[in-house]
Structure 1
Amino acid sequence: MPDTESSAAPSVRVAALYRFTRFANHTALREPLLAICKANDIRGTLLLASEGINGTIAGSPEGIDAVLAHIRALPDCADVDVKFSAASSMPFHRMKVRLKREIVTMGQPGIDPRYTVGTYVDPAEWNDLIADPETIVIDTRNDYEVAVGTFERAIDPKTATFRDFPDWFRAQRVRLLGEGKAPKVAMFCTGGIRCEKSTAFLKQEGVEEVFHLKGGILKYLETVPEEESLWRGECFVFDQRVTVGHGLAEGSYGLCHACRRPVSDADRASPLFEEGVSCPACHAERTDAQRESYRERQRQELRAARQGLTHVGAVFADGHDDK
């Protein structure tokens, strides 16, 4: 699949990528990959597991090209899936290459999207599929992501993590699909990787007609004109842009630095919102002692910013293993 860039001319280029493959020794790949990222002043998070590579990185176009050339030279990674977008400023504070058990955590043994996966649907054909009343449309993302935007008719599983999806589906299967011949099931996620596993999971569970949006929401928002779109709202992304909209333009949401959930203008107006400390979604989840700790961290970050420094605590909690 050819790599296509957002029509905007970004000061910072963002590349979201993944590839399911089998690395014989993924741990040996970490240091060379980290070294080339640092040599090219690239920041973000990349995950390596025996099942492949996943992540989002940002930097200059030349630096991104150099890192992608390195990744494409890895075993069976010449066709790594990459989606480009733009950021007005660097959306990450540092570069991390992490070793994981899975590049997207589902926790289900025997799932291998290289061999069993749903039918890919191009963004240009997605509207017809999900507008069909005989199609069940499922958003495979987490609850806080769905809250800021989703497709018309999409079912929200209200899961806290992708690991919860299999249990949710098994519990809801009869209600969703009935007991006769199952309807078509169309699923989608941010960049496509969660759907690789969720469609493989449904196929393993015996569901025959399973489809997923090729390239994910990001490719849909990039390529489908807004006037034809069935997307409503914005799309949460796992970097400091927080959300993007049609054309992959940066969105309107901020980020709660206590819980890493998106916050809207209405959230910011709430008495439960305190910059760097709490938001309406997490205020009841934290103790007074935790909030005081967050206040101290916020004070230190503001002090560092005034001095032109990056505080060590100012690191985005990247969620690529759950994307």
Structure 2
Amino acid sequence: MQSSHSYVNIAAYKFVTFEDTEQKRPEFLAICKQLQLKGTILLTPEGINLFLAGLREQIDQFLLWLRADQRFSDLQVKESYSEKQPFTRMLVKLKAEIITMKHPLIKPELGRAPAVEAKTLKRWLDQGHDDNGRPVVMLDTRNAFEVNVGTFKDTIDYRIEKFSEFPAVVAEHKEALADKTVVTFCTGGIRCEKAAIHMQNVGFDSVYQLEGGILKYFEECGGAHYDGDCFVFDYRTALNPQLQETATAQCYACRAVVTPREQLSPQYVAGKSCPHCASENSSGTTGAATAAH
């Protein structure tokens, strides 16, 4: 008999040159099906990104298999647990980029942007500057609807609708960020790593990525210097600084985030509509947050 929380959910990514994605795709699919895993794996020339769930033994076997490839031997994994299998199928997709920026492929093995650990960042925010005395600026690289759920205090939020807008908008604000230490952050590290490398490439001289993203910060530092919760792209919708699921939901019709207060509205029908898309449909205006994944 399985105990509660019997499914292990893993999320992992690594930027690394990966040129044989087409040859590797059938191998990934075969091992995942053999181990009865479900979820999504993205194979791209710039690396791998995966979200998988399965029983403990099968997840461990998969990671043993994957880490036998020298390119992924040091793959770092974030784990969470669920009583049910959160995914309905197993997909292995070939894509051009891990996360779409529409810029030349980034090769972090040629030099990652420096990372700042969560506890060091908290100390910097406590004291108001980094260890060199430079003011620290937090830069949210996520989409606007994610930021609405929660972010660091006094963060810079460019209200982007998709990550491919980031290079242009950060170029417009380059002067405003001069002489400051910029810390890019996102949910789990993928977007802020790519953003920080891009910023280094275009001439920012003091930029860091938050190692492990907001979720790692919550794990090590709780909610210090953070307002609200963290949007996550799975069935839980949002996690609080204690990494617990919150009552926040996401509308299946328009993908807007629906707060507990908004869920009291007669316009909120789970799986069908919410105040954002109901008002849009009645007035013809754009909803508050219609960005998709």
TM over 0.5: yes
What does the per-residue CA deviation read over 1:152-203, in whole Å, with 9 as the maximum and x for residues that have no partner? 22111211111111111112223x32xxx53110111111111111001110
What does the per-residue CA deviation read over 1:189-240, in whole Å, with 9 as the maximum and x for residues that have no partner? 11111111100111011001001111111111122245xx222221111111
SS in 2 for 1:136: strand
Alignment of structure 1 residues 155-174 onto 2, 5 Å: 155-174=156-175
Distance of aligned partners of 1:91 and 1:286 in 2 relative to their CA distance in 1, 3 Å threshold = farther
Q: Indicate if the aligned counterparts of 2:46 and 2:105 stay in contact, CA closer than 8 A.
A: no
Residue 122 of structure 1 deviates from its aligned partner by: 1.1
The match for 1:198 among 195, 199, 207 is 195
How many residue pairs end up in the alignment?
277
Q: Which region of structure 1 is more displaced relative to structure 2, 100-109 or 148-157?
A: 148-157
**C-alpha separation between the residues in 2 aligned to 1:160 and 1:88?**
33
Quick one: which amino acid aligns to residue 17 of structure 1? A
> Which residue matches 1:43?
38
Q: Is it true that 1:209 corresponds to 2:173 in the alignment?
A: no
SS in 2 for 1:277: coil
The match for 1:95 among 63, 86, 90 is 90
Q: Which region of structure 1 is more displaced relative to structure 2, 255-264 or 144-153?
A: 255-264
**C-alpha separation between the residues in 2 aligned to 1:173 and 1:282?**
35
Distance of aligned partners of 1:287 and 1:39 in 2 relative to their CA distance in 1, 3 Å threshold = farther
Alignment of structure 1 residues 6-45 onto 2, 5 Å: 10-45=5-40
Quick one: which amino acid aligns to residue 188 of structure 1? F
Greater RCO structure (CA 8 Å; 6+ sep): 1
RMSD (Å) for aligned C-alpha atoms: 2.3
Q: Which runs of 4+ in 1 moved over 6 A?
A: none
Q: Indicate if the aligned counterparts of 1:138 and 1:155 stay in contact, CA closer than 8 A.
A: yes
Quick one: which amino acid aligns to residue 171 of structure 1? E
**C-alpha separation between the residues in 2 aligned to 1:91 and 1:157?**
32
Q: Indicate if the aligned counterparts of 1:87 and 1:241 stay in contact, CA closer than 8 A.
A: no
> Which residue matches 1:139?
140
Q: Indicate if the aligned counterparts of 1:189 and 1:195 stay in contact, CA closer than 8 A.
A: yes
Q: Is it true that 1:275 corresponds to 2:276 in the alignment?
A: no
SS in 1 for 2:14: strand
Q: Indicate if the aligned counterparts of 1:112 and 1:197 stay in contact, CA closer than 8 A.
A: no
Q: Which region of structure 1 is more displaced relative to structure 2, 110-119 or 63-72?
A: 110-119
What is the TM-score of this pair, normalised by structure 1?
0.79
Q: Which region of structure 1 is more displaced relative to structure 2, 235-244 or 274-283?
A: 274-283
Q: Structure 2 stretches of 5 or more lacking a match?
A: 130-134, 284-290
SS in 2 for 1:114: helix
The match for 1:222 among 215, 219, 231 is 219
> Which residue matches 2:103?
108
> Which residue matches 1:261?
256
What is the TM-score of this pair, normalised by structure 2?
0.86
Q: Is it true that 1:85 corresponds to 2:80 in the alignment?
A: yes
Quick one: which amino acid aligns to residue 72 of structure 2? C
Q: Indicate if the aligned counterparts of 2:16 and 2:108 stay in contact, CA closer than 8 A.
A: no
What does the per-residue CA deviation read over 1:109-168, in whole Å, with 9 as the maximum and x for residues that have no partner? 153222243221111111123442611111111111111111122111211111111111
Q: Indicate if the aligned counterparts of 1:23 and 1:75 stay in contact, CA closer than 8 A.
A: no
> Which residue matches 2:288?
none
**C-alpha separation between the residues in 2 aligned to 1:264 and 1:100?**
33
Quick one: which amino acid aligns to residue 225 of structure 2? L
Q: Indicate if the aligned counterparts of 2:67 and 2:75 stay in contact, CA closer than 8 A.
A: yes
**C-alpha separation between the residues in 2 aligned to 1:287 and 1:49?**
42
**C-alpha separation between the residues in 2 aligned to 1:240 and 1:204?**
36
The match for 1:124 among 93, 99, 119 is 119
Q: Indicate if the aligned counterparts of 1:14 and 1:85 stay in contact, CA closer than 8 A.
A: yes
Alignment of structure 1 residues 296-315 onto 2, 5 Å: none
**C-alpha separation between the residues in 2 aligned to 1:197 and 1:115?**
13
Q: Indicate if the aligned counterparts of 1:238 and 1:318 stay in contact, CA closer than 8 A.
A: no
Residue 270 of structure 1 deviates from its aligned partner by: 2.7
Q: Structure 1 stretches of 5 or more lacking a match?
A: 1-8, 289-316
**C-alpha separation between the residues in 2 aligned to 1:318 and 1:44?**
18
